[in-house]
């Protein structure tokens, strides 16, 4: 400690004063260490806060050199150069994502931020698509209803040889009506009118739905719905299960085999009613798109079926999971809620 003070000065100071001086120096050094530690802690906290922000952040000196970049900025250097060419304060689309760039100047430094607004832009597009789809569904609904009525009349007047053609026409119209109903439901939002009733009611709905759907392969359906009661909206839950059934049929139709098997079962598990829908058709190619509205990897379909099913299940306080099993299995859980 004394090495920090000139020896001549110490020699000219009395013993008591020398001890006091050394004590003060020691206290000063300890305080310096404390201040340095606090500074490092605040710096670490500041850097941690900057790192957890959702934006990419660049701080640029007056000479255009980088003063600071967070990790998101380092990962986004390519899109930064794009925005730089446009003068910042702009929206940039890059590799399927949308970014909003903003810049501000403070104390001689320029702070530039880039916010990923991909989800926000997608939501805006979905709202627009939903409105357009709902409008089209309303416009199509009346003429389709008239055609459906005419086919019912036609069925009574044609001979037995022609009836299969009319039946196929009715199936096609039923498919259009189902798409219209799904579109209107999705655009308005799902509100479940839950009533205590037996799950057995769903079994007939599922079997009837199979008869209404058009397919070319030999497809068998096995149902095992437990005789239990739950509070649910029969109409909505039927639509959800039908969508999974049709999804399974389409997967079998697109698969390599000439025949397929679908199994639908329901059972009770504590406060839950659990449904399993299994099929041996084509595997799911992109799990991230499964429940995205207006997105589909199927050859036929509008991308609304499973998105609407998710809304229905969530309206029943439930969730949907694609199980990691050998046989493709979707699990639907809804609260029994009696």
Per-residue pLDDT, 11? 60
**Dihedral of alpha carbons 308, 313, 319, 321, sign:** negative
Whether residues 199 and 335 share a domain: the answer is yes
**Residue 235: strand, helix, or coil:** helix
Q: CATH number for the domain including 315?
A: 3.30.565.10
Query: What CA–CA distance (Å, rounded) separates 73 from 54?
Result: 11
C-alpha span between 38 and 49 (Å, rounded): 16
Query: What distances in angstroms separate CA 92 from CA 51, 79, 235, 298, one per listed residue?
Result: 22, 8, 44, 31
Element (H, E) at 22: helix 15-52
Please give the mean pLDDT across all residues of the chain: 83
Contact 254, 281 (CB under 8 A): yes
- Clarify whether residues 335 and 237 are in a common domain: yes
At 303-333, the pLDDT tens digits run: 678 888 998 999 999 999 998 767 789 999 9
Q: In which domain, by residue range, is 278 found?
A: 193-338
Q: Is 263 within 8 Å of 276 (Cβ atoms)?
A: yes
The DSSP bridge pattern shows strands 97-106 and 109-116 to be: antiparallel
Whole-angstrom Cα distance, residue 147 to residue 145? 5
Verify that 132 and 81 share a domain, yes or no.
Answer: no
Q: What percent of the chain has pLDDT over 90?
A: 19
Residues 227 and 254 in one domain: yes
Instruction: Provide the CATH number for the domain around residue 66.
Output: 3.40.1840
Residue 4 has pLDDT above 70, yes or no: no
234-254 vs 305-315: helix crossing angle, rounded to 10: 150
**Cβ burial, residue 308 (10 Å; 0-12/13-18/19+):** buried
Contact (CB, 8 A) for 233 and 274 = no
Same domain flag for 65 and 146: no
Q: At 263, is the pLDDT very low, low, confident or very high (cuts 50, 70, 90)?
A: very high
**Is residue 294's pLDDT more than 80?**
no
Q: What local confidence, expressed as pLDDT, does residue 161 receive?
A: 86
pTM > 0.85: yes or no: no
Same-domain pairing of 322 and 206: yes
Cα–Cα–Cα angle for 160, 165, 251, rounded to 5 degrees:
130
For residues 325 and 327, give the distance between their C-alpha atoms in angstroms, rounded to a whole number.
Answer: 5
User: What's the residue count for the chain?
Assistant: 338
Stretch 134-159: mean pLDDT, rounded?
A: 83
Q: Domain end: 116, 148, 169, which one?
A: 116
Number of domains in the chain: 4
Do 254 and 165 belong to one domain? no
Same domain, 263 and 323: yes
Judge if 220 and 278 occupy the same domain.
yes
CATH number of the CATH domain containing 126:
1.10.287
Confidence (pLDDT) at 237: 93
- 303 φ/ψ angles, rounded to the nearest 5 degrees: 80, 10
Q: What local confidence, expressed as pLDDT, does residue 15 receive?
A: 64
Query: Which residues make beta-bridge pairs with 197?
Result: 230
Spacing of C-alpha 42 from chain mean position: 37
Please identify, among 116, 141, 160, the residue that sits at the C-terminal boundary of a domain. Answer: 116
Residues 11 and 80 reside in one and the same domain = no
What is the pLDDT, as a whole number, of residue 1? 47
Residues 181 and 199 in one domain: no
**Domain final residue, candidates 131, 160, 188:** 188
List, for residues 87-128, the tens digit of each pLDDT value. Answer: 888 888 888 888 999 988 888 889 899 989 888 888 777 777
Same domain for 221 and 334?
A: yes
């Amino acid at each position: 400690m004394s090495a920090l003070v000139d020896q001549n000065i110490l020699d000219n100071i009395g013993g008591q004063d020398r001890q006091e001086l050394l004590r003060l120096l020691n206290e000063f050094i300890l305080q310096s260490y404390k201040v340095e530690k606090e500074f490092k802690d605040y710096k670490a906290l500041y850097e941690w806060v900057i790192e957890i922000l959702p934006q990419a952040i660049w701080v640029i000196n007056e000479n255009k050199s980088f003063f600071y970049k967070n990790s998101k900025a380092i990962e986004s250097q390519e899109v930064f150069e794009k925005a730089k060419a446009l003068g910042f304060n702009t929206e940039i689309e890059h590799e399927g994502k949308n970014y909003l760039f903003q810049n501000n100047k403070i104390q001689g430094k320029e702070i530039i931020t880039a916010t990923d607004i991909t989800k926000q832009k997608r939501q805006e597009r979905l709202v627009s698509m939903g409105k357009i789809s709902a409008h089209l569904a309303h416009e199509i609904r009346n003429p389709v209803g008239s055609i459906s009525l005419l086919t019912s009349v036609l069925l009574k007047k044609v001979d037995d040889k022609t009836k299969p053609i009319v039946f196929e026409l009715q199936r096609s119209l039923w498919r259009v009506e189902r798409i219209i109903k799904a579109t209107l439901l999705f655009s308005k939002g799902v509100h479940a009118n839950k009533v205590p009733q037996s799950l057995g009611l769903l079994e007939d709905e599922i079997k009837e739905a199979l008869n209404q759907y058009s397919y070319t392969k030999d497809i068998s359906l096995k149902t095992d719905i437990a005789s239990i009661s739950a509070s649910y909206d029969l109409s909505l839950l039927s639509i959800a299960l039908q969508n999974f059934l049709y999804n399974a049929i389409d997967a079998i139709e697109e698969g390599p085999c000439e025949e397929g098997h679908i199994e639908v079962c329901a059972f009770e598990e504590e406060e839950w009613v659990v449904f399993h829908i299994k099929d041996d058709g084509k595997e799911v190619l992109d799990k991230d798109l499964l429940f995205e509205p207006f997105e589909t990897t199927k050859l036929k379909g509008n991308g609304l079926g499973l998105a609407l099913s998710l809304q229905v299940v969530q309206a029943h306080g439930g969730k949907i999971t694609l199980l990691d099993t050998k046989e493709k299995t979707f699990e639907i859980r809804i609260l029994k809620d009696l």
